[in-house]
A and B are shown apart, each in its own frame.
Chain A
Amino acid sequence: MKVGMISFAHLHAESYASALKALPGVEFVGIYDEDNNRGKEWAEKLSVMHFEKLEDLLKTDIEAVIICSTNADHCRYTVAAAEAGKHVLVEKPIATNFADAHKMIETCKKQNVKLQIAFPVRYLPSVLETKRIVESGQLGRILAIKATNHGSMPGGWFTEKDKAGGGAVIDHTVHVVDIIRWMLGLEFKEIYAEYDRLIHNIETEDCGLLTMELTNNVFATLDTSWNRPSAYPTWGDVTMTIIGTNGVLELDGFSQKFDIYNNDVKKAQWEYFGGDMDYLLVKDFLEACKNNTPVKVTGEDGLKTLEVALAAYESGKRHQPVAIEEIRN
C-alpha cells in the first residue's frame, strides 16, 4: 500500500514516518509540507519524494495520507485528501471548531474514504490491559476516575490560538476523554474547568484542570497541564485511577521505564520500554484501509472529544459547569 504524508508541523510526524518506513507491505511515497524547506529536509532524511504542491502528492496513486499539520489546517487537508479519494489518518484534535470537524466527517463519508483520528493511547499495551480488566467486571461498578495527561510545554504553533485552537486544555483533554469513552463506554455530560497561563510567557493557557460529570453517575477529573519542567526526566504522563465498588485500578501508562543518570545530561532520565503505540496505530489504520474494515477511532469519536475541550473553554470563561448539549447546539 502506498502512503503519503501531509505536513510535518506536528512533532508526531517523525514517529508516524518511522512506522511507515518499518511496516512491511507499505510504501512511503512522499511528503507535502506547507513549509517547503521543512518538507524537503524530511523527505531527504527519510529518502522519500518531496512534493512542492499538495495536488501533486494527491495526484499520485497513494491510497492514504497521514496529516500532521497544525490543528487549524486539519480540515482543509482532510477535505482535499478525501476529495482526491485518499483515506485519512489525522492528528488529534480533529479540528479547532465544530464546523471544521463536521465538514471533515461529512466529506470523508461522501467520498467513501476512511477517516481515523490519531489517538495512539488506545494502542498502548497497558491501556489495552486496563480495558480488559475493567471489562472483566473485577472492579464492580465504576464510581469515579482521576486522570492526568501532563506534558512539557511544546512551544511553536501549539501556543498560538488561531493555529492550535487553544493551549494545554485542547492539546491534552482529548486523549484521556477518548480513552474513557472507549474503555468504559461512558459519555461526557457536563464540564467544569480551571485553566490559566501560569508558567510560560505564551499566548494560550499552560495549565488546566477539568472536573467532569459523565453518564452512569460517574465523575472524573483530568489535569491537562503543560507543567513538566525541562529538568523533568520525561515528556509527561498519562495516568488514570479508576474507582470501582469492588476495587481500584491505578494505571501509569508510561511506567515501563528505567532510570538513567548521565554526567553529560545533568538530570535523571526515564527510558520507556513499553509498546510503541504510534507504530501500532499506523499499522492498524493501514490494515483497516487495506481490508476495508471500520477504523478504530472515527471522526465522530474525534468530535466527541473536541466537545469536551470546547465545553472546558466555555466553563473557564463563565466559572460555571457547562453542559455538553448546550455548546453542541
Chain B
Amino acid sequence: MGSTHAEAYRVLDNAELVAVADLVPERAQAIAARTGATVRSATEIIADPSIDVIDVCVPTYLHRDFVVAAADAGKHVFCEKPMARSLKEAEEMKAACDKAGVRLGIGHVVRFFPEYIRAYNKVHSGVVGKVAVVRCTRGGFALPTAWKDWYANYEYSGGLVLDMIIHDFDYLRWLLGPVERVFAKGTRGRDYNRLEYALVSLKFKSGAIAHVEGSWVNSGGFHTRFEIAGEKGLIDYDSRKANPITLTVNKAGGAPGVPVPASAWAESPYTTEIRNFINVLDGKEGQIVDGNEGYESLKVALAALESIETGKPVNL
C-alpha cells in the first residue's frame, strides 16, 4: 500500500513526497527512485520540522506507535485501514491527534471507488427506495503474502475480517448508518488452514439487513460485488462483469494464454483518497473518513471477530 500512496503524492499538485522509510531498504529505494523522495529512517522523518504530513502504511499492529509519534511531533497523519488492531489503540491514536490539534485520516478507500460512490448517490437519490437487504462480496484470491507474512498472523492483522471486509463494513455504515447487531461465522478457529473465509450478518438501526462475504480463497482472482435491494428497486454490481478490457496473449510457441481482465481508471481511487486528505488540510474539501469514522468501522469488524469466536451475536 505504501507504494500506491507514494504514487498518489507524486501525481498530486498540492503535495510533495519528500522522504520514505521502510524496514526493507530496497523497497524504500525503489519508491524514492520513482518519486524523487529521499530514503530516511522513520524517526528522522517524524522529527523533520519541514514535513507536514506523515502517511502510515506499516502493518496494522504497529499503526498506533507510528501515528502517536507523528501526532506528538505535530504532523497530520494519514493511516492505512484498519485503523488499529484494538479499540484501545485506536482511542490512543484519536486522543494523540486531538491533543496535538492535527488531522487524522483513515484509508477506507472503498468510499473513493467510483462504483461505490455512484451506488451511494443512487441510493440517496431514491433509486431503490428505503434499503432492505444489502449483499457485499470481497476477495477471491489466496492469502496475501507480505513482510514477515504478517497477514497470516491473526494477532498482527486480525485476518480477513479486520484487514479486508472492514472495507464493506465501512461502506455499509456510510450507506446505512449505525450497526445494531453483528453475527458472523468464519474458518478461523475451526482448524488451521491458510484458507480464510468469513460470512457476516449485520442488522442496522435503520432496519436494513446486510450480508458480507470475505474470501482469501482463490476463486479466479480478486473481485468485489454488491447488491442493494430496497422498497422499489435493486442495484447489482459484480466487478467481474464490469471489466472494460480482457487481454489474452498467447505464450511463446503459440501456447494459448489465459484471459486477464483489466479495469481502467481516469484516476486511481487511491489518488482520490489522498487528494481528499490533502485538500482537507488546505481547507478545500470536507473530510470523508476521519478518525471517528475509522474507529466506528473498526468497532464493527472487532464485533464480527468476537462473534466468530463466541458463536453469539454482538450488540453494538
Within 8 A of A (CB), among B263-316: 311-313
Is there an interface contact between B207 and A223, defined as CB atoms closer than 8 Å? no
Is there an interface contact between A192 and B132, defined as CB atoms closer than 8 Å? no
Contacts known (A198-B208, A223-B211); A229 close to B229, Cβ less than 8 A: yes
B233 CB, min distance to chain A CBs, angstroms: 5
Stretch of A88-96, A207-215, A272-280, A300-308 on the interface side = A207-215
Most A CB atoms within 10 A — which of B128, B187, B209? Answer: B209
A40 CB, min distance to chain B CBs, angstroms: 37
A181 within 8 Å of B by Cβ?
A: no
Is there an interface contact between A217 and B191, defined as CB atoms closer than 8 Å? yes
A111 within 8 Å of B by Cβ?
A: no
B126 CB, min distance to chain A CBs, angstroms: 13
B130 within 8 Å of A by Cβ?
A: yes
Is there an interface contact between B211 and A143, defined as CB atoms closer than 8 Å? no
Contact with B along A228-246 (1 / 0, CB 8 A): 1101100000000101010
A148 to B229, CA, bound (A): 14
Is there an interface contact between A209 and B197, defined as CB atoms closer than 8 Å? no
B226 CB, min distance to chain A CBs, angstroms: 13
Contacts known (A229-B234, A319-B313); A243 close to B215, Cβ less than 8 A: yes
B135 CB, min distance to chain A CBs, angstroms: 7
Is there an interface contact between B183 and A211, defined as CB atoms closer than 8 Å? yes
Find chain A residues with CB under 8 A from B203 CB. 194
Is there an interface contact between B133 and A320, defined as CB atoms closer than 8 Å? no
A149 within 8 Å of B by Cβ?
A: no
Is there an interface contact between B311 and A243, defined as CB atoms closer than 8 Å? no
Contact with A along B197-232 (1 / 0, CB 8 A): 101010100011101010101110000000001111
B195 within 8 Å of A by Cβ?
A: yes
Is there an interface contact between A146 and B201, defined as CB atoms closer than 8 Å? no
Find chain A residues with CB under 8 A from B135 CB. 148, 223
Is there an interface contact between B197 and A144, defined as CB atoms closer than 8 Å? yes
Q: Which residue of B lies closest to A225 (CB)?
A: B133
Find chain B residues with CB under 8 A from A182 CB. none
Contacts known (A217-B191, A221-B211, A245-B193); A209 close to B313, Cβ less than 8 A: no
B190 within 8 Å of A by Cβ?
A: yes
Is there an interface contact between B187 and A143, defined as CB atoms closer than 8 Å? yes
**8 Å CB contact of A248 from B184, B201, B208, B217:** B217
Find chain B residues with CB under 8 A from A321 CB. 183, 311-313
Contacts known (A144-B199, A225-B229, A245-B195); A192 close to B209, Cβ less than 8 A: no
A116 within 8 Å of B by Cβ?
A: no
A227 to B132, CA, bound (A): 8
A-B pair number, CB within 8 angstroms: 103
**8 Å CB contact of B234 from A143, A206, A209, A232:** A232
A220 to B185, CA, bound (A): 8
A219 within 8 Å of B by Cβ?
A: yes
**8 Å CB contact of A198 from B130, B187, B191, B217:** B130
Is there an interface contact between B217 and A243, defined as CB atoms closer than 8 Å? yes
Is there an interface contact between B233 and A229, defined as CB atoms closer than 8 Å? yes
Q: Which residue of B lies closest to A230 (CB)?
A: B232
**8 Å CB contact of B207 from A144, A198, A209, A219:** A198
Contacts known (A199-B230, A221-B201); A227 close to B133, Cβ less than 8 A: yes
**8 Å CB contact of A320 from B193, B229, B313:** B313
Q: Which residue of A lies closest to B129 (CB)?
A: A199
Within 8 A of B (CB), among A150-189: none
**8 Å CB contact of A229 from B208, B211, B232, B311:** B232
Q: Which residue of A lies closest to B193 (CB)?
A: A245
A203 within 8 Å of B by Cβ?
A: no
Find chain B residues with CB under 8 A from A148 CB. 135
Is there an interface contact between B209 and A209, defined as CB atoms closer than 8 Å? yes
A250 within 8 Å of B by Cβ?
A: yes
Contacts known (A144-B197, A199-B231, A227-B234); A207 close to B133, Cβ less than 8 A: yes
Known: A207-B133, A211-B184. 13 other contacts (CB 8 A): A143-B195, A143-B197, A144-B185, A148-B135, A192-B183, A198-B132, A209-B209, A223-B133, A228-B229, A243-B197, A248-B217, A248-B218, A320-B313
- 29 residue pairs from A and B, CB less than 8 Å apart: A143-B190, A144-B185, A144-B187, A144-B199, A146-B199, A146-B213, A192-B201, A196-B207, A198-B133, A209-B133, A209-B211, A221-B185, A221-B199, A221-B201, A221-B211, A223-B135, A225-B132, A225-B229, A227-B132, A229-B128, A229-B232, A231-B234, A232-B234, A241-B219, A248-B217, A248-B219, A320-B312, A321-B311, A321-B312
Closest 9 CB pairs of A and B: A198-B132, A227-B229, A248-B219, A219-B185, A221-B199, A194-B209, A199-B132, A211-B201, A207-B133
